[in-house]
A and B are shown apart, each in its own frame.
Chain A
Amino acid sequence: MMENVLELERVSVKFGGLVALNEVDLTVRRGEILSIIGPNGAGKTTLFNIMTGIYTPTSGQIRYKNQLINKLKPYKRVGLGIARTFQNTRLLKNMTVLENVLVAHKEVNTEGVFASILARSSLKQKRQAIVQECMEKLEIVGLADKADQLAGSLPYGEQRLLEIARALATGCELLLLDEPAAGMNQTEKRELIKKILQLSKQYHIEVLLIEHDIQMIMEISDRIVVLNYGQKIAEGTPSEIQNDPLVIQAYLGGEVEA
């Protein structure tokens, strides 16, 4: 039995006269890796933005675990278990790798004024436990030994991994990755694929992926959704998508990527 985690029903987004998304239906099922592909400007990132609450849809419904979340503020959606990374990495460059993960941890966000002034030993123990947990997230992406470095000093590929660790620290159950492999070389990409699969299989996190690297997409996706000009033009398993004439046309007619 397949359970739906996230459901989009006829979701549209308009900016003035510009239609960024047009009546898109989409579901993320329990345990899957779902990829979204499409030419530049197809509305992929807009899709992420409405899922995370940066934009609200002009019409349509978004449900997460059967709860309507259309109007929910971004930070509340994080609380429900949705986390993301950004196409252009958004790290706190002057803070350490560890701190970049810490800021996303729930317990850090609930620390009170008086507790932090008194800083009793119970709080210190709690903080140590939080640091421990965040170190584990860094362990997963393989950045644990760089915890004390400034985030801005990391090479590009590692910055993307750090964004994943940060998203994990929110305690997310649905992870939205916006072009995680951009700027990575082949070896780094292989590592990334392994990690995404690990997150999905070992940690049971649903992964929603925007990516241009078709080879990678075909390798790790359970299903693929194709967007073009804000519309969903195809949906299916990697092999179905590979043979879909509409997809081929969209890619050949538009800008060829990957």
Chain B
Amino acid sequence: MLFQQITNGLTIGMIYALIALGYTMVYGILKIVNFAHGDIYMIGSFLGLFFLKELQVPLFVAFIFSAVVTALLGITIERAAYRPLRKADRIVPLISALGVSTFLISVAQLIWGTEMRPFPTSFGSKTYVVGSVTISEIQILILVLSCLLMVGLHLFVKKTKIGTAMRATSINLTNAALLGINTNRMISLAFAIGSALAACAGIMVGIYYNAVYPTMGYMAGINAFTAAVLGGIGSIPGAMLGGVLLGLVEALAGAYISTQYKSVISFAILIIVLLIRPSGILGKKEINKV
């Protein structure tokens, strides 16, 4: 029972981590919370469904197509709804993000309807038993692919020239621009990567629960944001750590306390972390200058 819950917790934790990366990368550079990120994830999931069902492409092609299209969507959203507001009051892009979120949800409702839709793939239903733990194919896919994506992102950010430029941008936007880095391109890149990762997460969740629906991004978004804050918002390893931790806590709480109210738990964690240690586990403390 315990190990089963840990496995399930790890699975969903990986998903949170993937989505949390999008929050954290954008926050790292622009210092805004992209409220619409959860809905970008939802769109990614629906796109995966579309490619699988309507175009009948193989699963891995659906992943790639959906990631690419969602990345473009992320870039477009930044261009249209956030970039014009960069000099405005902090609250203004937040409200704009809410507008984007509402927009995306209703687009999904218009195209795909408000009902839950199943994911038409035979993949993932096969299960394996290891000791006392039952693990399904899709869980293995989630664990493996998430790890690969995160390691890939980590290497990209640490080892490549563009990754270094991105880190410089997130340390200080103005200085990076003075160093000759095209910061707008870095911002677009952050949105693109975050959105692509969210799309992958969306497809995997769609298969895992065999359900996609327009408001699925809402709670997932709050959970992933909690994960990002828990790990330390702005920190990439923090988002991964936060996601996994949150997934575990949620699975264990769901199993041993209450299933219906397990989202209350992530909410409670969010408030507690924000009140006690707003910089999270791996984040740096901000010194407030007067």
Q: Are A15 and B290 in contact (CB under 8 A)?
A: no
Q: Are A49 and B287 in contact (CB under 8 A)?
A: no
243-290 of chain B: CB within 8 A of chain A = 287, 290
Q: Are B287 and A54 in contact (CB under 8 A)?
A: no
**Mask of A5-23 contacts with B, CB within 8 angstroms, 1/0:** 0000000000110000000
**With the chains together, A15 CA to B290 CA distance in Å?**
13
Q: Are B287 and A45 in contact (CB under 8 A)?
A: no
**With the chains together, A16 CA to B285 CA distance in Å?**
10
**With the chains together, A54 CA to B289 CA distance in Å?**
10
**With the chains together, A49 CA to B287 CA distance in Å?**
14
Q: Using CB atoms, name the residue of chain B closest to A87.
A: B290
Inter-chain CB contacts under 8 Å: number? 6
**Which residues of A have CB within 8 Å of B287?**
15-16
Q: How far is the CB of B27 from chain A (nearest CB, A)?
A: 22
**Which residues of B have CB within 8 Å of A15?**
287
**With the chains together, A54 CA to B290 CA distance in Å?**
8
47-69 of chain A: CB within 8 A of chain B = 49, 54
Q: Using CB atoms, name the residue of chain B closest to A48.
A: B290
75-104 of chain A: CB within 8 A of chain B = 86
131-151 of chain A: CB within 8 A of chain B = none
Q: Using CB atoms, name the residue of chain B closest to A90.
A: B290
Q: Using CB atoms, name the residue of chain A closest to B285.
A: A16
**With the chains together, A49 CA to B290 CA distance in Å?**
8
**With the chains together, A16 CA to B287 CA distance in Å?**
9
**Which residues of A have CB within 8 Å of B290?**
45, 49, 54, 86
- The majority secondary structure among interface residues of chain B is loop
Q: How far is the CB of B290 from chain A (nearest CB, A)?
A: 6
**With the chains together, A54 CA to B287 CA distance in Å?**
12
Q: How far is the CB of A45 from chain B (nearest CB, A)?
A: 7
Q: Using CB atoms, name the residue of chain B closest to A88.
A: B290
**Mask of A22-35 contacts with B, CB within 8 angstroms, 1/0:** 00000000000000
Q: Using CB atoms, name the residue of chain B closest to A49.
A: B290
Q: How far is the CB of B8 from chain A (nearest CB, A)?
A: 41
**Which residues of B have CB within 8 Å of A49?**
290
Q: How far is the CB of A108 from chain B (nearest CB, A)?
A: 24
**With the chains together, A252 CA to B190 CA distance in Å?**
49
Q: How far is the CB of A145 from chain B (nearest CB, A)?
A: 32
**With the chains together, A16 CA to B288 CA distance in Å?**
13
Q: How far is the CB of B286 from chain A (nearest CB, A)?
A: 11
Q: Using CB atoms, name the residue of chain A closest to B288.
A: A54
**Which residues of B have CB within 8 Å of A86?**
290
**Which residues of B have CB within 8 Å of A54?**
290
**With the chains together, A15 CA to B289 CA distance in Å?**
11
Q: How far is the CB of A88 from chain B (nearest CB, A)?
A: 9
Q: How far is the CB of A26 from chain B (nearest CB, A)?
A: 19
Q: Using CB atoms, name the residue of chain B closest to A178.
A: B290
Q: Using CB atoms, name the residue of chain B closest to A45.
A: B290
**Which residues of B have CB within 8 Å of A45?**
290
**With the chains together, A216 CA to B287 CA distance in Å?**
33
**With the chains together, A45 CA to B290 CA distance in Å?**
9
Q: How far is the CB of A47 from chain B (nearest CB, A)?
A: 12
165-181 of chain B: CB within 8 A of chain A = none
Q: How far is the CB of B285 from chain A (nearest CB, A)?
A: 8
Q: How far is the CB of B287 from chain A (nearest CB, A)?
A: 6
Q: How far is the CB of A85 from chain B (nearest CB, A)?
A: 13
**With the chains together, A198 CA to B287 CA distance in Å?**
38
**With the chains together, A90 CA to B287 CA distance in Å?**
20
**With the chains together, A86 CA to B289 CA distance in Å?**
13
**Mask of B206-245 contacts with A, CB within 8 angstroms, 1/0:** 0000000000000000000000000000000000000000
**With the chains together, A180 CA to B245 CA distance in Å?**
52
Q: How far is the CB of A82 from chain B (nearest CB, A)?
A: 16
**With the chains together, A47 CA to B287 CA distance in Å?**
17
Q: How far is the CB of A4 from chain B (nearest CB, A)?
A: 26
Q: How far is the CB of A161 from chain B (nearest CB, A)?
A: 21
**Which residues of B have CB within 8 Å of A16?**
287
Q: Using CB atoms, name the residue of chain A closest to B287.
A: A15
**With the chains together, A54 CA to B288 CA distance in Å?**
10
Q: Using CB atoms, name the residue of chain B closest to A15.
A: B287
Q: How far is the CB of A11 from chain B (nearest CB, A)?
A: 17
**With the chains together, A49 CA to B289 CA distance in Å?**
10
Q: How far is the CB of A178 from chain B (nearest CB, A)?
A: 10
**With the chains together, A18 CA to B287 CA distance in Å?**
12
29-45 of chain A: CB within 8 A of chain B = 45
**With the chains together, A15 CA to B287 CA distance in Å?**
8
**With the chains together, A35 CA to B290 CA distance in Å?**
21
Q: How far is the CB of B288 from chain A (nearest CB, A)?
A: 9
Q: How far is the CB of A184 from chain B (nearest CB, A)?
A: 22
Q: How far is the CB of B182 from chain A (nearest CB, A)?
A: 32
**With the chains together, A255 CA to B287 CA distance in Å?**
26
Q: How far is the CB of B283 from chain A (nearest CB, A)?
A: 15
6 tightest Cβ-Cβ pairs between the two chains A and B: A54-B290, A15-B287, A49-B290, A45-B290, A16-B287, A86-B290
**What are 5 sample pairs from A and B whose C-beta atoms fall under 8 A apart?**
A15-B287, A16-B287, A49-B290, A54-B290, A86-B290
